Amino acid sequence: MKPALRDFLPSGRTREVVTPEGVALRFEVAPAAERFSAFLSDLFLVFLGTAVLLVLLLVLSIDPGEDPLAAAGVFLAAFLLRHGFFAWFEIRRRGVTPGKRAVGLRVVDRRGGPLTGEAVLARNLTREIEVFLPLLLLVAPGAFFPEAPGWGAAVAGAWLIVLAAMPLFNRDRLRVGDLVAGTMVVRAPQAVLLQDVSARPAAPAAEAIAFTRDHLAIYGTYELQVLEEILRTPDPDLQGLRTVRDRILRKIRWEGKPPDVPPLDFLRAFYDAQRAHLEGRLLLGERKESKSERPARGGKRRP
């Protein structure tokens, strides 16, 4: 009997994402309530930054209400702060903002590819139309339309409610920005070394594969988690496993022919060696979260 999906993921809505290598990974879709909580946390930090900017203006005796140039500068700075905050964290921290990190969420590409800067910018610029513009029209309609009719605030309120409720009306909890950018928000894997997939005995031939420190210095915890998801997949596709093996061999600059073992045995052997290497680095006070990052000193987790 095939294992049920719930044996591999926590309960909740799960979605399958196929990577460019043809490997299917399963994610748990982030509940709307958790996304809202993460957004409020991030929004608080943005407002805090805006407040610091206004205090700085007061200290410098600059009054945006009397100086049109200063007002334009404040408007531009607030715009850059709003979008720069979300974009910087989602690009530099692989789809994780402080708010998302607090509740364990992450932005991923719905097509299984890497999260690109273009997608991050698209989903965050769309938030201006989804949230910030209608919110400003609702709170201060005169800022944009001094002669706006009284029902303008009602229209802005309806606009805000409809777009904010969009994730409730689709199974993947996608907001408009996700639809535009091709992204989705999922529950992130725990940023710890996962339980041993390699508890099962390895094939004798696989045990003979020797990985050097240079081979194991390429990947980090994040890639180890992805590999674990692949190894936990019931009845994995042989061609997909071969593709993943070949990709790893290229990344670690393996010299010569691929080891003469089945792809699954090779991946388990690499998982064992990579896990042991990362655990050793962790004991030395270093953690490497992904192949794009240098090890972090002091055992501190990096988002």
> For residue 292, is pLDDT > 90?
no
Could you give the CA distance from residue 284 to residue 299 in angstroms, rounded to a whole number? 8
Handedness of CA 183, 187, 192, 193 (dihedral sign): negative
Could you give the CA distance from residue 198 to residue 272 in angstroms, rounded to a whole number? 6
pLDDT tens-digit map of 214-245 = 787 777 777 777 788 888 777 778 888 888 88
* Whole-Å CA distances, 209 to 121, 247, 270: 43, 17, 9
Q: Which of 124-128, 194-198, 218-222, 235-239 ranks highest by mean pLDDT?
A: 124-128
Nearest to 21 by CA among 189, 248, 255: 248
pLDDT for the residue numbered 150: 65
Q: Return the H-helix or E-strand segment holding 99.
A: helix 98-103
pLDDT tens-digit map of 137-186 = 666 665 556 566 666 667 767 777 788 788 888 888 899 889 999 999 99
pLDDT tens-digit map of 4-39 = 333 333 444 777 777 665 556 678 888 888 998 999
Q: Which tokens sit at 70?
A: 């200063």
Is residue 228 within 8 Å of 235, Cβ to Cβ? no
pLDDT for the residue numbered 122: 92
**CA–centroid distance for 283 within its chain:** 27
The mean pLDDT of 244-257, rounded to a whole number, is 83
**DSSP E strands, the chain:** 14-18, 24-28, 105-109, 183-187, 286-287, 296-297
pLDDT for the residue numbered 181: 92
pTM assigned to the model: 0.58
